[in-house]
Amino acid sequence: MSYIWIALNALRVLSIFSLVLVISTCVIVNAKGFSSLGQSNVIFQFMNRTAIGVEALILILVEIGIPKIFGWFPVLNSWTFFGFLQVITGSLILGYDSGINSYSFLGYSLYIFIIVPGWFVFIIGIIYIILGIIGGQPLKQRRQLGGRSEKSRPPPYTV
């Protein structure tokens, strides 16, 4: 087992963890803000949080490696685009400071619970963009279970 394999899979685990936190914050904020749906921009923030939650779920499925997802979204096979989506997700989470995502509406502890996953996803997205630009597919193949891709395995021993 190499250090690169461990680091890349640790990044995968952190990415999945941060995306699960994003989904949970989307659900919590939408549940708390549901009673305020009639107010000015709250309906759009509600729809935005729902879209962010669905996007985070799709990104988790990509991280787990469900192959059918790549048939629906083939561009997600690139770490650069995957990281770009995480940066956008983090930016959308961090960009709101009014309506249902405000400090005065949510309170201090819930507001911090939203901000931390936003920064977490944003930073992990930047790391994925850099890894996609530097290493691309070879790094993605090194992250597979066993640490090597099928092409790099030695041929079986024959007598």
The pLDDT, as a whole number, for residue 4 is 83
Q: What angle do CA 106, 108, 114 make, to 5 degrees?
A: 65
Q: Residue 85 and residue 105: Cα distance in Å, rounded?
A: 28
Structure tokens at 71: 């048939």
Q: Residue 48 and residue 43: Cα distance in Å, rounded?
A: 9
Given pLDDT bands bounded at 50, 70 and 90, which one contains residue 158? low
Q: Which residues contact 12 (CB under 8 A, 6 or more apart)?
A: 63, 143
Does the predicted TM-score (pTM) go above 0.85? no
Burial 32-44 (b: 16+ CB within 10 A, else e): ebeeeeeeeebee
The pLDDT, as a whole number, for residue 153 is 47
Q: Is 133 exposed, middle or buried (0-12, 13-18, 19+ CB in 10 A)?
A: exposed
CB half-sphere exposure, 129, CA atoms < 13 A = 12
At 83-136, the pLDDT tens digits run 999 999 999 888 765 555 566 666 777 777 888 888 999 999 999 999 989 887
At 54-88, the pLDDT tens digits run 999 999 988 887 777 767 777 777 888 989 999 99
